[in-house]
């Protein structure tokens, strides 16, 4: 099964994708994660990607679609794909149709995570992760049980995304409204959009998504 998780930054796409990977053995294809790898490299492309991401703007359609094409080519045919943060523009949505057809895959469902924008700014600007195992925490809502020590692996190193500042988050939201939300009608016309309340507790969002998948 191939699915898209759609929603503004901070809606919980990555969190829910992680759960689906664990429960269903699907693979998460996050263009944000792929670009974070790309920006680490001391190359012209790495520097260009870093500048665009730190401004909260979108990286070019060609770059991200090529990444998705490559990843799907490397995956086993029997493994389902969770598209997280892709597509983000109409051009990417059209590319995805072509890429899926090329790899003999079909889109089962687009899950739209509905959220409140002001709450998202609070969510995003407070979030941090364990630098060792990636466990997620939050300044105001989910501190580790022992301050400064990861609950899961005991590491004392944590990191924050450089694009999780309030100013960048506002730009990322504006990009979502202007370029990503308008792709929903493409999928609505096909009757494959399901809306889930992304403001509910993480476990309840997972339950709602599982229900959607069971009937997809
Ligand atoms: P994310 O981790 O999905 O929030 O993405 C972080 C940043 O990476 C975004 O703000 C964009 O700058 C860039 N990015 C991620 N996915 C895409 C995409 N599909 N198209 C363009 N830019 C992207």
- Which atom of ligand 1 is nearest the CA belonging to 89? 20
For a substitution probing ligand 1, which of 85, 88, 179, 183 has the most ligand atoms within 8 Å of its CB?
85
Length of the chain: 216
Q: How far apart are CA 142 and CA 145, in angstroms?
A: 9
103, exposed or middle or buried, with CB in 10 Å at 0-12, 13-18, 19+?
Answer: middle
- C-beta separation of 22 from 202 below 8 A: no
Is the Cα torsion angle 116, 173, 196, 76 positive or negative in sign?
negative
**Span from the CA of 53 to the centroid of ligand 1 (angstroms):** 7
What string of pLDDT tens digits covers the 216 residues of the chain?
Answer: 999 999 999 899 999 999 999 999 999 999 999 999 999 999 999 999 999 999 999 999 999 999 999 999 999 999 999 999 999 999 999 999 999 999 999 999 999 999 988 888 998 999 999 999 999 999 998 999 999 999 999 999 999 999 999 999 999 999 999 999 999 999 999 999 999 999 999 999 999 999 999 998
Interatomic CA distance for residues 192 and 42, integer angstroms: 41
Neighbouring-strand partners of residue 4 = 83, 110
> Which of 53, 84, 165 maximizes ligand 1 atoms within 8 Å of its Cβ, making it the mutation to test the pocket?
53
Predicted TM-score (pTM) of this structure: 0.90
Distance 17 CA to ligand 1 centre (A): 16
């Amino acid at each position: 099964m191939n699915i898209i998780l759609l929603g503004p930054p901070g809606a919980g796409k990555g969190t829910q994708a992680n759960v689906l990977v664990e429960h269903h053995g699907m693979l998460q294809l996050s263009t944000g994660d792929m670009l974070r790898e790309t920006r680490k490299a001391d190359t012209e492309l790495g520097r260009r990607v870093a500048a665009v991401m730190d401004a909260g703007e979108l990286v070019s359609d060609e770059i991200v679609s090529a990444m998705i094409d490559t990843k799907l080519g490397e995956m086993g045919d029997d493994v389902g794909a969770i598209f997280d943060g892709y597509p983000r523009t109409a051009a990417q949505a059209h590319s995805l149709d072509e890429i899926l057809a090329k790899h003999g895959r079909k889109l089962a469902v687009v899950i739209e995570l509905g959220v409140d924008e002001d709450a998202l700014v609070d969510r995003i600007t407070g979030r941090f992760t364990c630098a060792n195992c990636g466990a997620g925490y939050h300044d105001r809502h989910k501190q580790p049980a022992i301050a400064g020590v990861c609950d899961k692996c005991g590491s004392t190193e944590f990191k924050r995304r450089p694009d999780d500042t309030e100013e960048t988050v506002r730009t990322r939201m504006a990009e979502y409204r202007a370029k990503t939300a308008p792709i929903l009608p493409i999928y609505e016309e096909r009757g494959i959009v399901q809306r889930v309340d992304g403001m509910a507790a993480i476990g309840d969002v997972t339950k709602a998504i599982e229900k959607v998948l069971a009937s997809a």
